[in-house]
Chain A
Amino acid sequence: MTMTDGIKRRDFLKVLGVSGAGATLSGCGPGDVEKLIPYVVAPDEITPGVATWYTTVCGSCSAQCGMWVRTREGRAVKVEGNPNHPVSQGGLCSKGHASLQHLYNPDRFAGPMIREGDHLRQGTWAEAEQLLAAKVRAASGVLFVSGGVGPSMDSLIGEFVTAVGGTRVEYDAVSDAALQEAARMVYGASGLPRYDIAQSRLLLSFGNDFIESGSSPVAHNKGLAKMSSVDDHQSKGRFIYLGARLSTTGLNADEWIPIRPGSEAAVALGMASVIAEDASAAGPYADVLRSYSPATAAAAAGVSEDAIRELAERFASEGPSLAMGPGAGANHRGATAAHVAVMILNHVAGNAGRTVHYDAGVTAAASSYAEMESAVSAMAAGQVGVAIIHGANPAYTMPAASGFRAAFEQVGFKVSFASAMDETAAMADLILPDRHFLEAWGDSMPRAGVMAIQQPVMQAVPHFDSKQSGDVLLAVATQLGSDLGSATFYEYLRARHMAMHDTGDFEATWQAALHAGAVEHDMPMGGMSEMRAPDAALSFDPPVFDAGGDLVLVVHPSPRFGAGEFSNSPWMQELPDPVSKITWHSWLEMNPHTAEQRGIREGDIVTVSSSHGAVDVPIWLYPGIREDSVALAMGGGHTDMGRWATGQGVNVMDLLPSESEQLSGGLVTLATTVSVSPTGERRRIATIAGSDDQHDRPIAPAVALAELGHAAEAEHEEDGHEEFKELQGAGGFVPVPSGGGAATAFPLEGTQHGPYADAHEGPRWGMAIDLDKCTGCSACVTACQSENNVPWVGEGQVLMGRDMNWVRIERYYEHIDATQAGDLDVRFLPMICQHCGNAPCEPVCPVFATYHTPEGVNAQIYNRCVGTRYCANNCPYKVRVFNWYRYTDENVPEPMNWQWNPDVTVRTNGVMEKCSFCMQRVRDAENRAALEEGRAVRDGDIVTACQQSCPAEAIVFGNIRDPNSRVSQIVSSERTYRVLDELINTQPAVNYLKKVTFHEVVSGGHE
């Protein structure tokens, strides 16, 4: 029987519908009735169905970005960057977005845990606090290890440690200790230098991955995008990366000088010797400068002398310039000296006080690894009776060679404030689960003069009996007979701020700070620009690496996991790494030439061994790393960190020596050589990358700076498209003549969008994405996942190509050469549903589940979708993703589902989905405009989740039909193009602006 033979398709569906209804009803007995539970007493600030926003501070890392949190019915459902924050200015990184998954993490402790033999038993807070007080009272030595905390908590910990007569060690796995020490030594600065990246025209990064780690990745990302994107005067700043491996930061550079690892000091001084006409310009460092030249620098770095000389000349002439010293991924045995060398370079080029300021006291991560080493010795020697660990996980983040685990075992009573299980808490005798920062009070001082309050945005998640550490310390201190002046941490915090407050009404200032998110005080800026003589011996020679292998091991914080503290989040695990596009597992980066010489292929599992340990890890071939180096990211290989992190990947700390840099005391990460030997086994890489090469298709084209303004006439899309075919009702494909074809022309002449389209002159929603600004950081990917209830699928499903992110950051290599200094051209392209005006997915849907709205959006109606997947097959952009399983209910344990956005349908299996242009935000803006002001939406009312999050401000959404809207203005640029449009006539609503290069574009151009 065919469908046309006697029974029509609709009748067939009706028959099926009746039998289906019977089956459905039988599953809905009276026991399944849905309940409506009212509040007992309704809170004033909550209106059901209306979002309440709170301002707070992201406590995920020491950058302390400003945050806005959207709550619904008392639950935090989305975090966003706070545009009023003076440092982060509205951006937020992926890790910040994923803080919700740590808040609702099912692996958090249910309450205080007390060890009884081999297992942990849940106790009460009173019992736990009494136990801690008793142990501290009886102990001979108390050690308090704390990670990065806000100033008030820092002060309270200090007072507590003094009260109990203990010792305190501040420890963060990744720190800027070397930079801080160099700034202190040379300029007498107390904090980290403040970089004015946006103001510089020539930026040099000596292996500093400033958009991924460091003092303020989001602010630096914003600065980089501003500085390196083309401005109205058709000029752009140049970014040059010097380092052994290209990080996400490095991939954004215009030029790459692949210097030998550890040769930063030699290069910086060689350059400074060219710039300074007289070595005495370097003040107390004149003698140092005299012994360096471009020749010595070239020899140390393994690049040509001309390259160094030419770079130095440009650095002096193309100012204002800025050089940044080695970051956490290049912290070697001479790191402090390298920073001093970069400071000399900045000084002779006149950048001190211009693009780099040593006045601002930018908060550094708590740092000293050297103190941690002494603490390990003290523990091993039995001198510590009680060890308290707060905000740190040394059992995982310290190299295995440090002996921390064995020493920690020696401690009589081990206490952890971890809110969820980690490797250190697993060894503890008492666990006092801390509140998540979204449930707790706190404060932050991202730099001198900026104070921001961290306020709880919701009541503590009721599944977990947690308590703010500050409250616990105050209670325990009271039991020990020390009155620290406040009963709760909230009082302590307010009292401290009241004491700092000078004039006027404190309450008003406090409320204003809570409302705006940050208060900026006037601080005397400028000042320190004279260099001082070093107070310790500095050696600028390249550092030595531990023997044991023939390849230098580059160890860097992961852009997704940091040093491992963010690993137990499925969003972070499934976020494709911005560089490799690999999800879930670890990989070793190796240059393809090196691999070829050794007969190693991508996916081969190799044993990486140093003189300190060995790990087995698959190979990923990366042309962005020197042939004499390999790289491995931190954050994998957890043994005790919850269901998503445990067992994923390898811990690179197993390969490192336990050694601190002599001057700064920071952990040395660029320290050892390794040997790499194949195990003979292979695995498939769980990557989302299709191809690294555009194969000369105009997907992410670029335009040379010199061509701007000239090529406009020839390339701009003004002429019409060919006639195209469109499905009209049941009439099949009908050729439609189409005039125009410009982005603003919608609907196209002659098109019909089916029986559901109203005839009205509404907006056409469109988007502009500026590829000259996009840095590939992937914050938008996680923001979208959070906003739109996009599920994660797990490593096995990713291997089958079933990853479900609505945003995919494509990364294409155009020119990348690890053997010599030269132009670098790597293109990032955020690929989302293009909302084609002539969408290939629409005519193939048998049930009209995907269709075009009158507002120009390619909509996907989940309840109509029957899952044929024809649309995904026909999508040239591969942006449609399919729910193969019930990812949303089987994968999401309580209370992780509390994060779901109630404004977006949670999809189940058998349903296709894709970017909706944040339809719920469009509707919300329309509703609010109509309700509150009785008007239609205005330009700027609607901000999509990706746009809100983007630190680079590369994404703009709006009505493309309105010639005055921001998106229309941007789209009128001569750089505008639409992906594949000229080939397949899809007429997308997403308009990209070409990346602008300094060099001539030879391939991948829009020819």
Chain B
Amino acid sequence: MKKHWLIGGLAGVFALTGLAFVQGGGTQPSAAAGGTTLSSAVQPIAFPHNQHAGSEPGQGKMDCQFCHFSAERSVDAGIPSVATCWGCHQLIPGANNPQEVAKIKEYLDAGEGIPWVRIYKVSDHVHFPHMRHVNAGLTCQQCHGEIQTMQVLEPPNRGIVGKLLLPQDPVWGGDNMGWCVECHRQPNESGVQQASTDCAVCHY
């Protein structure tokens, strides 16, 4: 039984070491950016989802799929091309942050894609077909949360340490299979499980 504690203790030491590293690495950019959050500091353009998709007065009320154009017909939701952004923004210079909007033109002129930092990701060994979910009637918000109210998308807290110690994303759990399966297991109108929980539905 003594060995049992030894294993637990060693594991704890490893965990704390790892955590210290993450926190040390994670706070630096925030400080440099003068109090803004981690994710807004690393995105190349401070893109406000709420300004585009929110329905408050003065916000754009855009449909998610205007920009994420392939969500209902492809496994990938799609991210808009630079030309798509500029298609609107050549007429809308941006009331709040024209300097951020101007960056679009710079990327367009340089012929470069905007290097967005990826926020939502399922692991490489998971195949998530967006179109099957969108066509089943799920809203984007059911998995991604109320994006249309967020100015800055926070990166989900990955790994067990992140989950235990950092503030939780209230909705997103795409790095946790239990979160997927919970929804798949819900009964449909006829009382049977609404989606398959067979491993090979997503893992192949």
Q: A-side interface residues toward B, CB under 8 Å?
A: 1, 5-7, 12, 15-19, 21-26, 28-30, 33-42, 47-50, 756-758, 760, 851, 853-855, 857, 859, 861-864, 903-906, 916, 919-920, 923, 927, 930-931
Contacts and interface: CB of A to CB of B under 8 A. Distances in A.
B81 A39 contact: yes
B159 A40 contact: no
Contact of A931 (B22, B78, B135, B203): B135
B70 interface: yes
Interface in B181-204: 192-193, 196-201, 203-204
A494 B19 CA distance: 64
13 contacts: A15-B11, A21-B160, A22-B17, A25-B19, A29-B22, A30-B29, A38-B116, A39-B113, A853-B200, A857-B200, A905-B125, A919-B204, A931-B132
A1002 B123 CA distance: 54
Interface in B10-34: 10-12, 14-19, 21-22, 25-26, 28-29
Given A22-B18, A24-B159, A40-B108, A15 B8 contact: yes
Secondary structure call for the A interface? loop
A63 B177 CA distance: 50
A756 B198 contact: yes
B5 to A, nearest CB: 10
Given A21-B159, A23-B14, A903-B127, A30 B204 contact: no
A109 to B, nearest CB: 26
B200 A37 contact: no
Contact of B200 (A24, A50, A760, A919): A919
Given A34-B121, A40-B81, A859-B203, 12 more contacts: A21-B161, A25-B21, A30-B28, A36-B115, A38-B113, A39-B83, A40-B113, A49-B130, A855-B198, A861-B203, A905-B124, A916-B204
A923 B18 CA distance: 38
A35 B116 contact: yes
A851 B200 CA distance: 10
Interface residues of B, number: 70
A930 to B, nearest CB: 7
A36 B113 CA distance: 9
B64 interface: no
Contacts of B126: 863
B75 interface: yes
A50 B73 contact: yes
Contacts of B7: 12, 15
A19 B15 contact: yes
Contacts of B80: 38, 42
Interface in B148-204: 158-162, 192-193, 196-201, 203-204
Contacts of A12: 7
A530 to B, nearest CB: 61
A25 B4 CA distance: 25
The 4 closest A-B pairs by CB, nearest first: A22-B18, A49-B76, A49-B74, A19-B11
A47 B73 contact: yes
B82 interface: yes
B42 interface: yes
A1 B4 contact: yes
A36 B118 contact: yes
B11 A48 contact: no
Contacts of B145: none
A21 B25 CA distance: 16
Interface string B88-121: 0000000000000000000110011111111001
Contacts of A41: 81-83
A369 B161 CA distance: 71
Contact of B198 (A23, A40, A853, A906): A853
A937 to B, nearest CB: 14
A859 B73 contact: no
Given A862-B125, A863-B125, A48 B78 contact: yes
Contacts of B73: 47, 50, 931
A756 to B, nearest CB: 6
B119 to A, nearest CB: 9
Contacts of B75: 49-50, 927
Nearest to A906: B124
B15, B28, B38, B162 interface centre (most CB from chain A within 10 Å)? B15
A40 B78 contact: no
A170 to B, nearest CB: 43
B18 A864 contact: no
A904 B74 contact: no
Contacts of A25: 18-19, 21-22, 158-159, 161-162
Given A30-B42, A41-B83, A861 B200 contact: yes
B138 interface: no
Contacts of A923: 127, 129, 201, 204
A855 B196 CA distance: 11
Contact of A40 (B112, B115, B125): B112
A42 B204 contact: no
Interface string B52-77: 00000000000000000010011110
Given A23-B18, A50-B73, A6 B200 contact: no
Contacts of B118: 33-36
Given A25-B158, A49-B75, A40 B14 contact: no
Contacts of A50: 70, 73-75
Contact of B116 (A36, A42, A851, A857): A36
B78 A47 contact: yes
A862 B17 contact: no
Contacts of B42: 30, 33
Contacts of A756: 197-199
B203 A905 contact: yes
B139 interface: no
Contacts of B25: 29-30
A417 to B, nearest CB: 31
B4 A7 contact: yes
Given A26-B18, A33-B118, A758-B196, A39 B11 contact: no
Contact of A19 (B14, B79, B130, B132): B14
Contacts of A863: 123, 125-126, 203
A37 to B, nearest CB: 4
Contact of B117 (A1, A6, A33, A40): A33
A758 B199 contact: no
A40 to B, nearest CB: 5
Contact of A48 (B76, B121, B160): B76
Nearest to B163: A21
Nearest to B10: A19
A39 B78 CA distance: 10
A21, A33, A861 interface centre (most CB from chain B within 10 Å)? A21
A22 B131 contact: no
A806 to B, nearest CB: 13
B176 to A, nearest CB: 12
Given A25-B22, A35-B118, A756-B198, A47 B70 contact: yes
A22 B81 contact: no
Contacts of B70: 47-50
Contacts of B28: 30
A687 B174 CA distance: 45
A910 B44 CA distance: 38
A42 B203 contact: no
Given A34-B118, A35-B118, A927-B129, A18 B15 contact: yes
Contact of B115 (A5, A17, A37): A37
Nearest to B22: A25
A859 B204 contact: yes
B36 interface: no
Contacts of A920: 127, 204
A307 to B, nearest CB: 54
A30, A48, A851 interface centre (most CB from chain B within 10 Å)? A30
Nearest to B7: A15
A26 B17 contact: yes
Nearest to A37: B113
A556 B124 CA distance: 44
A19 to B, nearest CB: 4
